[in-house]
Amino acid sequence: MDKKRVAVPLVCHGHSRPVVDLFYSPVTSDGYFLISASKDSNPMLRNGETGDWIGTFEGHKGAVWSCCLDTNAFRAATGSADFSAKIWDAITGDVLHSFEHKHIVRACAFSEDTNFLLTGGVEKILRIYDLNRPDAPPREVDKSPGSVRTVTWLHSDQTILSSCIDMGGVRLWDVRTGKVVQTLETKSSVTSAEVSQDGRYITTADGFSVKFWDANHFGLVKSYNMPCTVESASLEPKYGLKFVAAGEDMWIRVFDFHTGEEIACNKGHHGPVHCVRFAPGGETYASGSEDGTIRIWQTGPLTNDDCEPVAANGRVKVSADEVSRKIEGFHITDEGDSREKEEVENA
């Protein structure tokens, strides 16, 4: 991508307050989807390719800090400042379950097999809910040393990862024993942690640094200093040759994974950028900002004859163009672009 070229993103309006989390589904038979969390308490579901608004999940009474979709994009999960985590039907928009906590829920994640939901927050407790028995008490993992900021699963749901708001490091927990088996040391608090689609790397953002860790042996593979405090980083999933990072200076930068050289710098947001995530095919990435907007950017050429494209499930994938996107299968709302709607019907 030419560094001097001005990138023009798709701008997705709809949130009335800062966008603090984004999550892309894998490619499904209906295409792929993007869910956003915002301090306005109303998570939104969009067509992941076009950014078109599909529906709004209404029911939280406080800021929503975290959001995710299950593997098939049939269900959504959210964690909120109203002391709850909710499971939603992503097709109808109905609340399926509400899991009450004793303090703010900052992070949530579906297990890879979609049978469990992991939550964490200000209580300093990691909880695992069995979604096949949603009324059963959750399993509580050993107490976290600090308020939980991020959570995710890896190693086919055998390991969970968490970071804290008030201290550095990423902790890896054995799901069977509930104990910490490894700590990835960082100087600053880790504000973003992502496991690559092929399961090889853990990408973290802490302070002025983006780091890549071996997800199996836990060694530090690469560490790059950033020009500003970064809040989020994401590795391009198809070939793993680029990564994006963004934070307090409002710019989204694209870097070469192997050298750390800045490839592009995209400007457009009017406030700090809280989250960046690549689409499952790597052709675009989304950014969410303090300014309340989501912007979807083109990645640029993704050509590498020596690499084989990898899907979100680790298998070789077809291109996104080969996947039919049957948005009409979602019965949340009539067709339409979010930018043309000022009032949306409750999902």
Whole-number pLDDT of residue 301: 78
The predicted structure's pLDDT at residue 335: 35
In which band, very low, low, confident or very high, does the pLDDT at 326 lie, cut at 50, 70 and 90? very low
Which pLDDT does position 142 carry in this prediction?
A: 84
Tokens of 243: 């990564």
Span 210-234, average pLDDT: 97
Closest by CA to 252, choosing from 239, 269, 236, 238, is: 269
More confident residue, 320 or 191: 191
pLDDT of residue 337 exceeding 50: no
- What is the model's pTM? 0.86
Mean pLDDT of the chain: 89
Length of the chain: 347
Per-residue model confidence as pLDDT tens digits over 148-179:
999 999 999 999 999 999 999 999 999 999 99
Residue 306 pLDDT grade (very low, low, confident, very high; cuts 50, 70, 90): very low
**What pLDDT score does 330 carry?**
37
The rounded percent of the chain whose pLDDT value lies above 70 is 85
pLDDT class of 120 with cuts at 50, 70, 90: very high
Instruction: Report the pLDDT value the prediction gives residue 201, as an integer from 0 to 100.
Output: 98
3-state helix, strand, coil in the chain (%, to 5): 5, 45, 50
- Over residues 191-219, the pLDDT tens digits come to 999 999 999 999 999 999 999 999 999 99
Using a pLDDT cut of 90, give the percent of the chain over it.
Answer: 84
Q: Name the band, by pLDDT with cuts 50, 70 and 90, for residue 297.
A: very high
- Tell me, what's the pLDDT at 318? 38
| Res. 332: pLDDT tops 70 | no
User: Average of pLDDT values for 57-71?
Assistant: 98
Q: Band the pLDDT of 302: cuts 50, 70, 90.
A: low
Average pLDDT for residues 89-100, to the nearest whole number? Answer: 98
Q: Which amino acid is at 39?
A: K
In the predicted model, is pLDDT for residue 304 greater than 80? no
Task: From 23, 9, 101, 104, select the one nearest 57 (Cα to Cα).
Answer: 23
User: What confidence tier does 5 reach under pLDDT thresholds 50, 70, 90?
Assistant: low
Closest CA to 128 of 148, 136, 119: 119
Which residue, 264, 266, 269, 303, is CA-closest to 283?
303
Specify the pLDDT at position 7. Answer: 80
C-beta neighbour count of 270 within 10 angstroms: 11
Residue 3, pLDDT > 50, answer no
Distance (Å, rounded) from C-alpha 179 to C-alpha 181?
6
Q: How confident is the model at residue 322 (pLDDT cuts 50, 70, 90)?
A: very low
Amino acid at 31: G
Q: How far apart are CA 164 and CA 229, in angstroms?
A: 17
Q: Across the beta sheet with 252-256, what order do the strands follow?
A: 230-235, 242-247, 252-256, 262-266
Tell me the three-class secondary structure of 97-150, residue by residue.
EEEECCCCEEEEEECCCCCEEEEEECCCCCEEEECCCCCCCCEECCCCCCCEEE
